[in-house]
Every structure is written in C-alpha cells, then in structure tokens.
C-alpha cells in the first residue's frame, strides 16, 4: 500500500511540474502612472503584441475593480499568449493613485488616452515585436481608437460603444430606471454643451456628481462611430449577445461606420467576456465570479484576426 501511494504521489508531482507555462511573465513600468504585466510566448522570438486597455472605473490590469473580481482581462491575456501572441495589460492610473491614497480630482478622459499612447510609444521603440495591436474593452475601446490611430497595425473593439457615451447613458437609464429618463436627458444635454449643473437626481450621483462632470464633458466630446472611420488599419469589432451594458446595436453601429471592419457577435457572451446560459441574475453575479472561463470563441476570433495580418 505504501509503495502504491508513493507511486501515485510521484506521478502527481511529475505531472504538476511538467506543465510549465507556455510564456514568461514580466512586470513593466511604462511611466510614473502606468505599471503592467507583459506576457511573452516561449519559442517565438518576434511575436505580435496585443496591448489590452481596460474599461471604465478604477479597473486594474486583470479587469477587476473594488469588490468585483472576475480576472477577465487576465484570462484574455493568458489565452492569447498561449496562442503565441505577446500581451501587455496595465492598471489604469487611478488604480495606482488609490493604492497610494492620493487620488487626483482633476483626472480627465484625455489622461487615459495619453496613458494608452505612452504604452504604445513604449513598445514601438522595442524591436522585439512583429506587429502591434490595441484591444480596447468597453470605455477602453474609445481610448484605444484614439491611441491606435496611425500608430499601430490593427485595432480590436471589445464591447465598445458606437454612440456617444451621453446617448449610451440615456439608453441605459431608460432601461434600468425609466423614472429618471427625463432628468438624464436634460443633464446630458447640458454636459454635451460643456456646461456643468447642480440639478440632477441624487440617485444618479455616481454618474453626474459635480466632481465627475468635467470628466464626463471631456468623454462626451468624442464620437466613436466617427473616430473609427479614421482608422486606416485592420479593425475587428466584437460584442456579446448577453452584454447588459453595451448592446449588439453598438457594435453594429461601429461596423456600419467602418464597412471594412470585421464584426463578430458571440452568442451568450456578456460584458466581462463570460458565456452566460442563464438569466440576468446569473449574468450580474458573474462579474464577481473569477472561477469562470472567458469565451473560447473570443480567444479564437482575436487570435485569428491578429495572425492573419501580414
């Protein structure tokens, strides 16, 4: 019996240690604001590189924020690097400020764009990569469009809006809290004109607080469906049918604006890149369920798009 147990344990440890990662992992500091993780595939001296830009809020390099941990962007990066594509994902600058207990009230949307441009510039000076691609998730889609223009070899919009963010908010409030629709439309109209206001529903303070309004004004100055027409590069647009935050219509609007772009709609994929078979409750709960695997079709679609470019 003892010999049998010994053999089983020996097999277990030999299997465990033989399953080495197919990539190396390195921490990279791009600027005083931006720290991230670079994954480089083994046995590929000059791979393609995908820079992953996170969505709205204090989102870290792994796709997590506050008490919501799903590791969606970490899983995206690892999935791509396992397929031979180097990846770099980074914490948004506000994450570092929170960790340092020194959050600036003057952060603007353009700061996120500049950070993304700094990341692109950092890797463009490195000759280790064949082509460089930008993958922007949610808010990061718009940030990525602005950073990618004339600078990289391809762009991927992942759950990115086609409409102006003001119009997206109006649509979301209309679905989730229709009693505030009229007030929302009024506030958005003011912000689009560059005007701040103190007259907004307290229930919507997380969107319209006076501290946030300069940021929102800056964000609303950009129209994704116009910007995507200016990208003279291969473009891939991806959205899921169970995305509670960005509908398939937004992806279709981006595709209509740039008819050369590829459009992939993934059945049952939600905003944090998981495939959901159940209802909206299961969908919402998944935002904090890091045990889930992200959509295999997402990994294969992005891999195929990047590898087909010359």
Q: Would you list the DSSP string of 199-252?
A: -S-GGGHHHH-TTTHHHHHHHHT--HHHHGGG--S-EEEEEETT-SSS-HHHHH
Task: Give the per-residue pLDDT at 310.
Answer: 64
| Token pair for 72 | 């969606």
**Bridge pairing between strands 262-266 and 23-29:** unpaired
For 45: left if phi > 0, alpha if psi spans -120 to 50, otherwise beta; the answer is alpha
Task: Give the per-residue pLDDT at 19.
Answer: 52
Write down all domains in the chain, each with its CATH number in brackets.
20-163+223-304 (3.40.50.1820), 165-221 (no CATH)
The 3-state DSSP class for residue 134 equals strand
Look at residues 127, 160, 186 and name the one whose alpha carbon lies nearest to residue 52: 160
Measured between alpha carbons, how far is 88 from 212 in angstroms, rounded to an integer?
29
What is the pTM assigned to this prediction?
0.91
Measured between alpha carbons, how far is 102 from 81 in angstroms, rounded to an integer?
34
Average pLDDT of the chain, as a whole number: 92
Question: Is the pLDDT confidence value at 163 over 90?
Answer: yes
Q: Which of 43 and 213 is assigned the larger pLDDT?
A: 213
Per-residue pLDDT tens for 74-118? 999 999 999 999 999 999 999 888 888 877 778 999 999 999 999
Look at residues 95, 16, 20 and name the one whose alpha carbon lies nearest to residue 60: 95
Q: Tell me which DSSP letter residue 77 carries.
A: H
Mean pLDDT for the stretch of residues 47-76: 95
Per-residue pLDDT tens for 10-57? 444 444 444 568 899 999 999 999 999 999 999 888 999 999 999 998
Question: Is the pLDDT confidence value at 127 over 80?
Answer: no
């Amino acid at each position: 019996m003892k010999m049998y147990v010994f053999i089983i344990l020996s097999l277990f440890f030999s299997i465990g240690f033989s399953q080495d990662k197919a990539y190396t992992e390195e921490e990279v500091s791009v600027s005083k604001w931006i720290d991230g993780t670079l994954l480089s595939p083994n046995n590929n001296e000059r791979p393609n590189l995908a820079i992953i830009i996170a969505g709205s809020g204090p989102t870290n390099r792994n796709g997590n924020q506050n008490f919501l941990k799903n590791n969606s962007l970490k899983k995206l990066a690892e999935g791509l690097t396992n397929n031979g594509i180097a990846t770099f994902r980074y914490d948004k600058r506000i994450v570092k400020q929170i960790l340092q207990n020194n959050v600036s009230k003057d952060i603007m949307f353009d700061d996120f764009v500049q950070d993304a441009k700094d990341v692109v510039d950092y890797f463009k000076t490195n000759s280790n990569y064949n082509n460089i691609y930008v993958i922007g998730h949610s808010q990061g889609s718009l940030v990525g469009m602005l950073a990618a223009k004339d600078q990289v070899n391809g762009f991927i919009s992942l759950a990115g809006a086609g409409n102006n963010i003001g119009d997206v908010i109006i649509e979301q409030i209309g679905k989730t809290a229709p009693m505030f629709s009229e007030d929302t439309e009024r506030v958005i109209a003011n912000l689009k004109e560059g005007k701040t206001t103190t007259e907004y529903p307290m229930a919507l303070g997380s969107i319209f607080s006076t501290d946030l309004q300069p940021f929102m004004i800056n964000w609303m100055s950009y129209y994704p469906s116009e910007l995507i027409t200016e990208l003279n590069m291969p473009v891939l647009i991806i959205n899921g049918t169970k995305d509670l935050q960005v509908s398939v219509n937004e992806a279709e609007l981006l595709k209509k604006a740039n008819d050369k772009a590829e459009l992939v709609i993934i059945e049952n994929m939600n905003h944090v890149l998981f495939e959901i078979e159940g209802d909206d409750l299961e969908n919402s709960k998944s935002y904090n369920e890091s045990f889930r695997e992200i959509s295999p079709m997402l990994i294969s679609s992005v891999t195929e798009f990047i590898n087909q470019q010359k």
